Amino acid sequence: MTDQITFPDVVQWAVPFFIAAILAEFLWIAVKGRGGRYETRDAVTSLIMGAGNIASGFLLGFIAYGFFMWLWRITPLDLGTSIPIIILCFVLEDLRYYWVHRFGHRIRWVWASHVNHHSSQHYNLTTALRQTWTYTFTFMMVVRAPLILLGFHPAMVLFVGGINLIYQFWIHTEAIGKMPRWFEAVMNTPSHHRAHHGRNARYLDCNYAGVFIIWDKMFGTFVPEQENDRVDYGLVHNIATFNPLRVAFHEWVGIWRDATQPGLTLKQRLAYCFAPPGYSHDGSRDSSAQIKAKHLARHPEDLGTPGFEQTRENLPNSAAKQA
């Protein structure tokens, strides 16, 4: 196996572009008077979260990289670093991203890391930088294992992963409406990703794509942005803090408090850690399915529209009953 392959750390090199693009978006909004909103403390929190994400990469990145290099040493396969292999790696890495992102919304342990990215009520280019500090603790690096065992060099996998993240930066904007139809059909776009950041019942748990929206269409999680249902950004229960430490760790603290409360069975404690967000042992909280069911009870006219394709009979029993 060839260990000595290097690729540039593209995310670090993109930092000047991030700053320039934020300034450009800000000026666009200021001049045009539309296309998004900026608020000082929200933007500062997002930017500090971005800086902390880079710092956590310096501090904890060696754990994932050590794991990848160990996999690379045990795999007998080496696909090399030709251009077609890099392109193939990029596409498969994007598929990996889709699933990790989906796990990030459906498994509370992973959501605890990802939630901070959704914690702003704004949606602008600074929101893109509101990134996790605790990804290493989710152990989601194991989802990259198949790529490396198939013979894609770890440095190449991390390189295309970096390009994937840079692509996702520019789609965090309200300044761009809909792109040409062919582009919207294949690629993740500002419109698709706005829907993903919505706390409206319609948009919960949709559009997990990184670069190619086709994964959502393949796996049944695609919901197009609706003109008659403007995206309301943020969390179902918005947090009330701009403190980056609280933003980074609030869901981990929530898991700890929930899972260690007295009188629970082991299964209930594990469910507080790993069940979808919204689980509660006493039914006092709502999962996304229950939120959608309750919305349909209030707005039956939405049944069958994007995001509400499921009939109430197809919803989980508890969700339908609660609605």
- Interface with another protein by CB under 8 A: which residues? 9, 12-13, 15-16, 18-19, 22-23, 26, 30, 37-44, 47-48, 51, 54, 121-122, 126, 201, 232, 234, 237-242, 246-247, 249-251, 253-254, 257, 294-295, 298
Q: Closest Cα to residue 319, out of 296, 278, 295, 287?
A: 287
Q: Could you tell me which of 101, 316, 110 has the C-alpha nearest to residue 219?
A: 101
CB-wise, 102 or 105, nearer to another protein?
105
Q: How far, in Å, are 127, 156, 185, 195 from residue 10 at the CA level?
A: 19, 11, 27, 27
Cβ at position 197, least distance to another protein in Å: 14
Q: Which is nearer to another protein, 238 or 311 (CB)?
A: 238
- The DSSP 8-state label assigned to residue 212 in this structure reads B
The closest alpha carbon to 205, from 318, 308, 304, 78, belongs to: 308
Smallest separation, CB 252 to another protein (Å): 9
For another protein, the closer of residues 85 and 235 by Cβ is: 235
**Residue 133 or 208 having the CB closest to another protein:** 133
How many residues are recorded in the chain? 323
Separation of CA 284 from chain center: 26
Hey, how many other C-beta atoms are within 10 angstroms of the C-beta on 209?
28
CB of 302 to another protein, least distance (A): 12
Report the nearest approach of another protein to the CB of residue 87 (Å).
Answer: 25
CA 118, CA 139: separation in Å to the nearest integer? 20
Q: C-beta of 294: minimal distance to another protein in Å?
A: 6
Coil vs helix vs strand at 141: helix
Instruction: Convert 27-43 into a string of H (helix), E (strand) and C (coil).
Output: HHHHHHCCCCCCCHHHH
Looking at the Cβ atoms of 102 and 295, the one nearer to another protein is 295
Contact between 111 and 134 (Cβ < 8 Å): no
The nearest distance, CB 291 to another protein, in angstroms, is: 9
| Cα 318 to Cα 278: distance, rounded to the nearest angstrom | 13
**123-136 burial: b if 16+ Cβ within 10 Å, else e:** bbbbbbbbbbbbbb
Which residue lies nearer to another protein by CB, 26 or 67? 26
Q: Provide the CA 205 distance to its chain's centre, in angstroms.
A: 10
Question: Smallest distance from the beta carbon of 259 to another protein, in angstroms?
Answer: 14
Q: Which is nearer to another protein, 100 or 247 (CB)?
A: 247
d(C-alpha 124, C-alpha 102), whole Å: 22
**In the bound complex, what is the minimum distance in angstroms from residue 180's beta carbon to another protein?**
31
- Closest CB to another protein among 35 and 151? 35
